[in-house]
Structure 1
Amino acid sequence: MIDHMGFRVGDLAKARVFYDACTKALGLATLDNSENSFLIGSSSTEPLPFIWIGTDEPAFWKAAHRTSASPIHLAFRAADHATVDAFYRAALAAGGTDNGAPGPRGPKEMGYYAAFVLDPDGNNVEAGVRTPPSS
């Protein structure tokens, strides 16, 4: 459904440490892109879809756009509860801020288990798994 998305960060080195740790826990890769950006994807051999994270100003931005003026919400799909837990621990250890410890979210019927962490720029990053009850 999505080919790619991207967002700017204030400190690329801090962002890289954070995203290297929490995406590795999810089985994803952070890939070098330029000296001012990196990508998150499945792997170097499976580059799409990807998330671009950098400090460059995209050519399509208007003058009023600012880095993290409106924090984003980025949710990653996890394989299971243990992966959500590992994401949360890795993100906190890499400089993230707790925004919701791992646990059930939403109506019980949804079977959603997730964790929320703020990245160094204040963006809400989530990992979750849906395991609805069987009928």
Structure 2
Amino acid sequence: MLDHVGILVADWTRARAFYDAAFAPLGITMLNQVPVEYTGGVRVGGYGATSPDFWLTEAAQTGPGRHYAFAAKSRAEVDAFHAAAMAAGGQDNGAPGLREHYHPTYYGAFVIDPDGNNIEAVCHAPG
């Protein structure tokens, strides 16, 4: 349904370091950084596994409270995402574990990024 999404970040360097670390266990990396000549001088970059699906745009004002969930292949990837995001300065918003109130096999972890967004990794595979 969605092709790509993006969020605004106040501090490009801090956000880039956070997402580089948090996404590494999921096989997600920065795939494209738009030259600032095309963006009015702000930094814009897209993350993904094979195509840039999640974009960061540098902005003076951000807007916390958005929620994005990223698919993990295994529960171990969810655990590694949470640990990496926390080590990179994230704030815990739900440790890795089953969320059976969503679905019996829903295994997820939630972290608040440096701009206040709720970032999740989720695995739907059975134990």
TM-score (norm 1): 0.80
- Residue 79 of structure 1 aligns with an amino acid whose one-letter code is K
Which residue number corresponds to residue 82 of structure 1?
76
Q: TM-score, normalised by structure 2?
A: 0.84
What corresponds to 2:89 in structure 1? 95
The amino acid of 2:56's aligned partner reads: I
Contact 1:77 1:128 in 2 (8 A): yes
Answer whether contact 2:31 2:51 (CA < 8 A) is retained: no
Contact 2:69 2:120 in 1 (8 A): yes
The superposition leaves residues 30-85 of structure 1 with CA deviations (integer Å, 9 ceiling, x where unpaired) of 2341351211111xxx325x11101158xxxxxxxx521x4200100101110000
Larger Rg: 1
C-alpha spacing 1:67/1:39, structure 2 compared with 1 (3 Å): same
Question: Kindly tell me: are residues 116 and 80 of structure 1, through their superposed partners in 2, closer, same or farther at Cα, counting changes over 3 Å?
Answer: same
Q: Are 1:54 and 2:57 matched, yes or no? A: yes
For 2:27, the equivalent position in structure 1 comes to: 27
Count of matched residue positions in the alignment of Structure 1 and Structure 2: 120
Partner of 2:39: none
- The 1:108–1:125 alpha-carbon spacing in structure 2 relative to 1, beyond 3 Å, is closer
Superposed displacement of residue 106, structure 1:
3.0
- State how 1:56-135 maps to structure 2 within 5 Å: 56=59, 66-68=61-63, 70-107=64-101, 110-132=104-126
Structure 2 residues without counterparts, runs of 5 or longer:
37-42
Structure 1 vs Structure 2: percent identity of aligned residues? 45
Residues 72, 109 of structure 1: alpha-carbon distance in 2 compared, 3 angstrom cutoff = closer
Q: In 2, Cα distance between the equivalents of 1:89 and 1:29?
A: 17
The equivalent position to 1:38 in structure 2, one of 41, 45, 55, is 45
Q: What amino acid maps onto 1:29 in structure 2?
A: T
Structure 1: stretches of 5+ with no match in the other structure: 58-65
Question: Partner letter of residue 118 of structure 2?
Answer: N
Aligned residues of 1:37 and 1:56 also touching (Cα < 8 A)? no
Q: Is the 8 A contact 2:28 2:48 kept in 1?
A: yes
